[in-house]
């Protein structure tokens, strides 16, 4: 009579592999995904959108002190800077500092301010973004905005250091358009 042959049973695949050896491929995939995510984030921040914290009250009520916004650094390669845009630029008197203001005049515009009323090319402009409590009575003599320059004003006119103080801003100082607020949450949304 024949004795039954015993076939050794194999252990399930990977059962005798130490847990740390199984985790290595998972960690490698996780590290690869993290590096790709960081590279994409760096590309977006360096070339497209930059998060910025507003410091100061010169753009109230549109932008509050300590509000967080995104600045599109690429948009002006494809479209011109326009009246009403909120832009971020290097301060002409100290380029290590950045300012955020609203574009009131573009190259060739004649700007003057009479008792707080802004005139562009002799036409008064309506500024619904400047409530009465943020306006001031300051005047500014007529000036023509030079080529490749912009006349900037803060929305909080009585608290703003702007083109009335340091003159028109050259295009080369402007590095982005403020497009989206993301903090605090109640101000989440597109900027106007």
Taking the C-alpha atoms of residue 155 and residue 174, their distance in angstroms, rounded to an integer, is 18
Cβ distance 104 to 120 under 8 Å?
A: yes
Residue 167: exposure state from Cβ atoms within 10 A (0-12, 13-18, ≥19): middle
Q: How far is CA 68 from the centre of its chain?
A: 8
Verify whether residue 58 is a known catalytic residue: yes
H or E segment and range at residue 169: strand 169-170
Taking the C-alpha atoms of residue 186 and residue 182, their distance in angstroms, rounded to an integer, is 9
- Indicate if the alpha-carbon torsion angle 99, 105, 109, 115 is positive or negative: negative
The residue from 62, 73, 101, 177 that is catalytic is: 101
Verify whether residue 160 is a known catalytic residue: no
The residue from 58, 62, 149, 163 that is catalytic is: 58
User: Looking at the annotation, which residues are catalytic?
Assistant: 58, 101
């Amino acid at each position: 009579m024949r004795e039954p042959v015993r076939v050794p049973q194999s252990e399930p695949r990977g059962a005798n592999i130490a847990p740390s050896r199984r985790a290595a491929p998972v960690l490698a995939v996780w590290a690869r995904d993290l590096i790709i995510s960081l590279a994409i984030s760096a590309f977006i921040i360096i070339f497209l959108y930059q998060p910025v914290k507003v410091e100061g009250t010169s753009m109230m009520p549109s932008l509050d002190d300590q509000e967080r916004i995104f600045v599109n650094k690429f948009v002006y390669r494809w479209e011109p800077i326009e009246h009403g845009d909120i832009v971020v630029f290097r301060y002409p008197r100290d380029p290590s500092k950045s300012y955020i203001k609203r574009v009131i005049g573009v190259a060739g515009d004649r700007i003057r301010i009479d008792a707080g009323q802004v005139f562009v090319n002799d036409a008064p402009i309506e500024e619904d973004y400047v409530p009465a409590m943020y306006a001031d009575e300051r005047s500014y003599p007529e000036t023509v905005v030079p080529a490749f320059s912009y006349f900037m004003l803060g929305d909080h006119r009585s608290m703003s250091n702007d083109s009335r103080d340091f003159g028109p801003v050259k295009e080369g100082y402007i590095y982005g358009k403020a497009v989206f607020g993301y903090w605090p949450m109640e101000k989440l949304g597109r900027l106007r």
